[in-house]
Structure 1
């Protein structure tokens, strides 16, 4: 396996957290294993890594109930069709994915938009799946305009995806540091969750919120009108973080390709 799999055992629920290698931005897919089925959260950018997750899921010997896409960034939905299960998302996220049109795998393979677009809307609130309560929360602003977080209250697990990064540089292309800071405060306000699953990086505990707060504060201080200067400054401030290419991608949105 090229990616890294971390297994979290919470009795009736086991979570298999897959982190892609550095060349795919350390993006994560969560496989939530309930007593009789699997629920996947996010579907990878590179089809090869989506296939790794699917092969691992098959080895667990339980049917894949659904794939939930948390937000409309291609690194989280390109591989959706590889899972062979209904694709769910917030209605706004579904519309945003459909509006992007066809995608392209890093190998150059075209991914038709119909293969990636969710067909079933997620409604915020609690849904009991295979006897396990899932609390779906819609968040607005931050890393993306619309994002879904999932709480497993009985297991103390928060599936935050791209509302939280762990030891990885942030994508700031949505240009909404205040919105992201607000979302972090909302997530951190409930101390009942001792496991936080990020959208980039390995599983963490609640201490990840302080790490994220520091980074967002630094970014607000350092982000001026020069993308390369910002990259030098933020990587010096956080030298142990991975995913420096995420800064480059964000800078393309913030400053244009000539200042990425």
Structure 2
């Protein structure tokens, strides 16, 4: 296996977090194992890594009930068809994925929109799945235009996905640092969760919110009009962080270059 697995055991629920290698921007898929099924969260960037997740899920011995896609960034849904399960998402996220249409993944393989567009709408609110309470919340602004956050109150687990990165450089291509800070403030004020699952990187604790706010503060100061200069500066500030490819991708949006 090229990716890594971390397992969080919370009694009736076990969460298996797959983190892809650096060449796939350390994107995560979380397999939420309930008593009788598996709810997958986010579908990977590359088909090969999605296949690793699915192969691992099969070792758990429970059916994949659904794949929830949290937002419309390709690294979270290009591999969705490999899961062989209904794809769920917020209505806004569904519409954004459909609008992006067919595409090529980084290997040049075709990703058909019809295969990865969610077909089941996630409605914000509470839902009991296999006896486990889930809370679905919609966030706007920040890392992406629209994002789904999933809470498991009984397990004290917050699935924050791309509102949280853990020791990974942030993707700032949406150019909304202020919106991201506001979302983090909202998440951090709720002290009911002691496990925070990231969209990039390994699971963390609540301390990750202060770390992210510090990074956003630094990025706001260092960002200018030169992508190369910004990349060099933020790497000097956070030399041990993975995900440098994310800086390049974001710079393509911010500065019109891939550097």
Q: Same fold (TM over 0.5)?
A: yes
Deviation at 1:105, TM superposition (A): 2.6
Alignment match, 1:157: 157
Q: Distance in 2 between matches of 1:186 and 1:86?
A: 30
Instruction: Give the structure 2 partner of residue 82 of structure 1.
Output: 82
Find the counterpart in structure 2 of residue 190 from structure 1. 190
Matches within 5 A, 1:249-260: 249-257=249-257, 260=259
SS in 2 for 1:151: strand
Q: Secondary structure at the match of 2:236?
A: helix
Report runs of 4+ in structure 1 exceeding 3 Å deviation.
Answer: none
| Aligned residues: CA RMSD | 0.7
Q: Tell me, in whole angstroms, the C-alpha distance in 2 between the residues paired with 1:18 and 1:104.
A: 23
Residues 57-90 of structure 1: CA distance to partner in whole angstroms, max 9, x if unpaired?
1111101110000000000000111111100000
The CA distance in 2 between the partners of 1:224 and 1:115, in whole Å, is: 39
Q: Which runs of 5+ in 1 are unaligned?
A: none
**Which structure 2 residues correspond to residues 168-179 of structure 1 after superposition, within 5 A?**
168-179=168-179
Counterpart CA distance in 2 for 1:229 and 1:2 is: 32
Q: Deviations over 1:94-128 (max 9, x none)?
A: 00000111122332210111011000110000010
SS at 1:154's partner residue? helix
Q: Does 1:208 align with 2:208?
A: yes
Q: TM-score, with normalisation over the residues of structure 2?
A: 0.99
Partners of 1:196 and 1:83 in 2: how far apart? 24
Distance in 2 of aligned mates of 1:169 and 1:107? 22
Tell me, yes or no, if structure 1 residue 97 matches structure 2 residue 92. no
Residue 236 (structure 1) aligns with: 236
Unaligned runs of 5+ in 2: none
Question: Aligned residues, how many?
Answer: 259
- What are the residue-to-residue correspondences of 1:40-189 with 2, within 5 Å? 40-189=40-189
